Structure 1
């Protein structure tokens, strides 16, 4: 099974509002689930925000930093399916210098190709660019956080 076949299956699951799909073909086993989850996040201010994740999810994917309140954004339901994922493992930086202003914050308007952050991997700085035009709905990781490949970094609406 090729990656294009998997992508077509994911699109079909999404288009037909299926909640799960399982395929076994020879030694290949594929399971796709569409879930919604509500996570209550409490920040340093004591205010609570609800984060709703939906769409085709990576297995056990949850916003990094949800437990310690690093998610920025309005205290409203986050329902965008436009997510920027980490393309590699490394350390995430939200600004070009330690004392600099963050590239983006929740509520900022962004354009496709705009730099959202930097991931340092093996002493190389890799710019993370926006894939969409829109507004930053949430920043899902904190500055200087270690991120994994495929980890959600930003939600754009």
Structure 2
């Protein structure tokens, strides 16, 4: 990736309402986060904060699905998560949540005419693809971290998802 490409990405993200961005192409990994975690709950009155690259982006990005459950003390719940909290709170104690490692659009299948990767009641194994999250025209397969039975699917097809939002409950 050359500096001009990076400048174009930063300019596009500055003009968009994007708080986190991840890009993986070949051996190049990039993860950007804008503003403090509290900015996810309440917008800042002074405008967008500058982008900052984390000190170790490659391990975070390479292990993104594995690191998602470890963020239990992560960002404050978004309006979408707060609205969904009553429905997902009892289920969270009965199984393992699968959380979105990135912001994007949730897709339950590889194409509109293909069957869904999983349905409620399906048995899944660790590493099995559960869904796709599209971010910046990149399709990111989200895999199960543990085996079990899919008890809940908390997101509808083609719905936008936030970082850390619970997508599935696997028991």
Task: With the length of structure 2 as denominator, give the TM-score of the two structures.
Answer: 0.49
Aligned to 2:114, which of 79, 97, 100? Answer: 100
Match of 1:60 in 2: 77
Structure 2 counterpart of 1:150:
164
Give the helix-richer structure, 1 or 2.
2
Aligned residues: 95
Contact 1:64 1:140 in 2 (8 A): no
Unmatched runs of 5 consecutive residues or more in structure 2: 1-71
CA RMSD of superposed structures (Å): 2.6
The residue that corresponds to 1:118 in the other structure is 132
1:153 alignment partner, SS class: strand
Structure with greater strand percent: 1
- Shift in alpha-carbon separation, 1:64–1:101, aligned structure 2, 3 A: farther
Evaluate the alpha carbon distance shift between residue 124 and residue 154 of structure 1 in structure 2; reply closer, same or farther with a 3 A threshold. Answer: same
Moved over 2 A (4+): 56-67, 77-81
For normalisation by structure 1, the TM-score amounts to 0.53
Alignment correspondent of 2:102: 88
Q: Could you list the per-position Cα deviations for residues 112-146 of structure 1 after superposition, in whole angstroms to 9, with x for gaps in the alignment?
A: 00000000001100000000110001001000010
Q: Give the Cα–Cα distance (whole angstroms) in 1 for the partners of residues 113 and 83 of structure 2.
A: 22
- Look up the match of 1:14: none
1:81 Cα deviation from its structure 2 partner: 3.9
| 1:139 aligned residue (131, 153, 171) | 153
| Distance (Å, rounded) in 2 between the aligned partners of 1:101 and 1:93 | 11
Q: How far apart in 2 are the matches of 1:105 and 1:152?
A: 16
Shift of 1:63: 5.2
Q: Distance in 1 between matches of 2:170 and 2:129?
A: 13
1:99 shift after superposition: 1.5
Q: What is the alpha-carbon distance in structure 2 between the residues aligned to residue 131 and residue 147 of structure 1?
A: 19
Structure 1: stretches of 5+ with no match in the other structure: 1-55, 72-76
